[in-house]
Amino acid sequence: MGFLQDTIADVRQVKRGWRWGHRSQVPRSAEPFVPPSSPNVYPNDWSRTPAAAAVRELAQKAALEPLFRSQVRARAEGVDVLDRLTGPVIFAANHASHLDTPLILLSLPDEWRRRTAVAAAADYFFDTWWRAVGSSLLFNTLPIDRRGGSLSTTPGDVLADGWSLVIFPEGTRSRDGWMGSFRLGAAFLAVEHGVPVVPVAHRGTFAAMPRGAGWPGRGRRTLRVRFGDPLVPGEDESVRDFARRVRAGVAQLLDEDATSWYAALRRAASGTTPDPAGPEVAEWRRVWESTQPPEAEPRRAWG
């Protein structure tokens, strides 16, 4: 009996000390840093060829736009600012939903939409060939690696070829509908390539189709999008300062949509524009407020 008990104790001791699966004895905090490998991005230069543009025009006008209009009510304001521009430009917008991209593209005049590409996360939209082909063909997406890897096409190449870009400087969709901090990518491209930035703000997309939803909710929710006056980097303005100015431009448009043009203009002049990051309250309250759709009709300019 004593021999059996000793044997069981030995087996248990071996079990406690055995490296199951050959687990490393070195703690992860002490392991050497290994940089992530560059992603294998699907090359999509073909999506900006005349043949692909013709297919995309048919798909957007015959399929995407009727489907989009059947699910939501969309209204665009300030599109006339594009009459003073010749392109290319960078459209910098807040990001709350997968509805943001079709809302912006379908709000653009045809001549602008046909020459506009969309910066999309390579690790999400280009992780499989079918998603890469679909997004490239329908939305003219351009892969952007959020982890710093090398890509087959760079945004600078696209701008140099005369294409405008839709960029979401937050880098990802909002989790609660409020705007996050802006990364420097859009501002850097504007400074580096000498192109203006058109701030774009939209409301209602989070309420209609929040993060995690696969389809817009019932009831044809109201969406509104506003295009602001173009912003041009100053001669000695740093990328970081210009990025703050772009974010302030988007914040002013959100304030304008929630109140009125004149009230938002006065607050911007006095530096009291409400922070688009939202109030510091419980997460459920932030989400609850973001799920309230905007009014069906915009407010008056002087209201």
DSSP assignment of 90-157? EEEE---STTHHHHHHHHS-HHHHTTEEEEEEHHHHTSSHHHHHHHHHHH-EEEE-TT----SS-HHH
Q: Distance between CA 140 and CA 77 in Å, rounded? A: 23
Condensed to tens digits (0 to 9), the pLDDT of residues 155-198 reads 888 999 999 999 999 988 999 999 999 999 899 999 999 999 99
pLDDT at position 85, please? 93
Residue 3 lies in a domain: no
Instruction: Answer yes or no: are the C-beta atoms of 71 and 103 closer than 8 Å.
Output: no
Instruction: Give me the number of domains the chain comprises.
Output: 1
Residue 202 lies in a domain: yes
Condensed to tens digits (0 to 9), the pLDDT of residues 213-239 reads 888 888 889 999 999 999 999 988 999
pLDDT at position 105, please? 97
Residue 52 lies in a domain: yes
The closest alpha carbon to 102, from 66, 156, 48, 128, belongs to 66
Full domain range(s) for residue 280:
45-290
Name, in order, each residue with C-beta under 8 angstroms of 274's C-beta and a sequence gap of 6 or more: 251, 254, 255, 267
Residue 190 lies in a domain: yes
pLDDT at position 150, please? 46
Hey, what are 189's tokens?
A: 């491209």
- Decide which of 281 and 29 is more confident: 281
**72-77: strand order across its sheet:** 72-77, 221-227, 197-203, 90-93, 164-167, 116-121, 141-144
Condensed to tens digits (0 to 9), the pLDDT of residues 132-161 reads 899 999 999 988 876 554 445 578 889 999
Question: At 236, is the secondary structure helix, strand, or coil?
Answer: coil
Q: How far is CA 178 from CA 34, 175, 207, 226, 234, in A?
A: 35, 8, 11, 16, 29
pLDDT at position 118, please? 95
Residue 40 lies in a domain: no
Q: Distance between CA 194 and CA 49 in Å, rounded? A: 25
Residue 87 lies in a domain: yes
Residue 98 lies in a domain: yes
Residue 266 lies in a domain: yes
Instruction: Answer yes or no: are the C-beta atoms of 184 and 244 closer than 8 Å.
Output: no
Confirm whether pTM is higher than 0.85.
Answer: no
Q: Distance between CA 193 and CA 159 in Å, rounded? A: 8
Condensed to tens digits (0 to 9), the pLDDT of residues 252-296 reads 999 999 999 999 999 999 999 999 998 888 888 888 888 887 875
Q: How far is CA 29 from CA 17, 23, 32, 195, in A?
A: 21, 15, 8, 44
Hey, what are 23's tokens?
A: 């687990």
